[in-house]
Amino acid sequence: MNKEIEKQIEEAALKFKEMLAEQYERNSRIGAGVSAGASGKSSVVIGLAPGDGIGPVIMEETKAVLEELLKEELGSGRVSFKEIEGFTIENRLAKEETVPKDVLAQMEACDVILKGPTTTPNAAMGGVNLESANVFLRKYFDLFANVRPVKVDEEGIDWTFFRENTEGEYALGSRGIRLGDGTGDGLSVDFKVTTAEGSRRIAKAAYDFARANGKKKVSIVTKANIMKKTDGDFQQIALEVAKGYPEIETDTWFVDIMAANLVNKDIRSGFEVFVLPNLYGDIITDEAAQIQGGVGTAGSANIGTDMAMFEAIHGSAPRMVEDGIAHLANPASLITAAVMMLRHIGLGDKADRLESAVSKADAKLGSMMTGLPGGKSCKEFAKEVRSNL
């Protein structure tokens, strides 16, 4: 081994030591559980953060829908909107900050945030390589429970995914180590982190949800046969949590066969609640959303102890903007996220109304929301939702 590589290994070991200490410290700081929601508050501030790409397009229509639905609440001050300024890829790149401090301050002044998708800067964008804003915000506000429902009524599918949202491959994803001497040889290492507290709280959130909603089964999904420490612990801890919920059936699956199960029409409607580590949750929920009609139909809640952020599960679709078809984006994802937000802030009746309005609009126009020339537009879909309110 040459001197240069030896030096890099020394440096990597030091960096690893630092990261371990930092992650251990985080484990000891982890909060107690999911917030009760902002339902107890007499007035709730909803931050609107449109994001990038198709984000502003779907946000504009979602806001119009909410303005109509929440006319009374907005009038009485029970609910107010706060537009978050400067949460754009241009501003983030210019300031070289994943989420600029003044943007974070605006967000912190809100009770909940409705967020559009953001573009993740890559090395090709002006040489600035920032962490994903989504990932950053989830960690910054410690939004550990990523809750993603998927429903297909005709098939009896009613799934709720509890994706751990702050750990796994995402905890240190931008801080891996590469060794190389410039000859083209080398190797890269990324890190995956599972903490006991982090696993316990997401498992508890899943089982509490199952109990509160009369669900009969929770499925724990990992790759514990290969990732023996991290996924092994996640599964073990989730199984321990399960003991506190004897009325609920628990099963454990590896993520590969679960991916297969979800396309197996004979068995898939038998699943109800899933709890999974971060990256598997990311992948499996895109698959599940596709079964429901596409990622453009799925909303998600990122819930922590003091803050909650609601968003579409898809990205900012820069290609749609480049191709001049951003107006064809499906707003159902963000509107569905708004349904989850309304429930979270204690406006369950309004959430039910909106949910049924989206579902009717989807039955009528869903198949024409292709996102391709000739498809129905974002505006047309939102108009249909409003007329169903």
| Interaction site with Mg ion (CB under 5 A) | 282
Binding range to ligand IPM, per CB under 6 A, among 22-30, 96-104, 128-136, 323-331: 128-136
Nearest to 109 by CA among 138, 141, 78, 77: 141
What is the phi-psi region of residue 15: left when phi exceeds 0, alpha when psi lies from -120 to 50, beta otherwise? alpha
| Measured distance CA(272)–CA(359) in Å, rounded | 20
Find the binder of ligand IPM among 313, 317, 320, 361 (CB under 6 A): 313
Closest contact distance (angstroms) between CB of 218 and ligand IPM is 21
Closest contact distance (angstroms) between CB of 130 and ligand IPM is 12
Query: Does 132 interact with ligand IPM (rule: CB under 6 A)?
Result: yes
Amino acid at 358: V
Nearest to 164 by CA among 193, 140, 190, 189: 193
Query: Does 134 interact with ligand IPM (rule: CB under 6 A)?
Result: yes
Beta-sheet pairing, 79-83 with 44-49: parallel
Closest contact distance (angstroms) between CB of 134 and Mg ion is 9
Closest contact distance (angstroms) between CB of 169 and ligand IPM is 9
Closest residue to ligand IPM using C-beta atoms: 132
Nearer to ligand IPM by C-beta: 134 or 250? 134
Query: Does 388 interact with ligand IPM (rule: CB under 6 A)?
Result: no
| Measured distance CA(105)–CA(18) in Å, rounded | 28
Nearer to ligand IPM by C-beta: 172 or 313? 313
Q: Report angle CA 203, 204, 210 to the nearest 5 degrees.
A: 95
Closest contact distance (angstroms) between CB of 115 and ligand IPM is 10
Nearer to ligand IPM by C-beta: 161 or 209? 161
Return the one option of ligand IPM, Mg ion, none that residue 135 interacts with (CB less than 5 to 8 A, by type).
ligand IPM
CA–CA distance from 99 to each of 95, 204, 306, 308, 309 (Å)? 9, 30, 19, 17, 15
Distance of CA 26 to the CA centre of its chain: 21
Nearer to ligand IPM by C-beta: 193 or 347? 193
**Residues in contact with ligand IPM by the rule CB under 6 A:** 120, 132, 134-135, 282, 313, 315
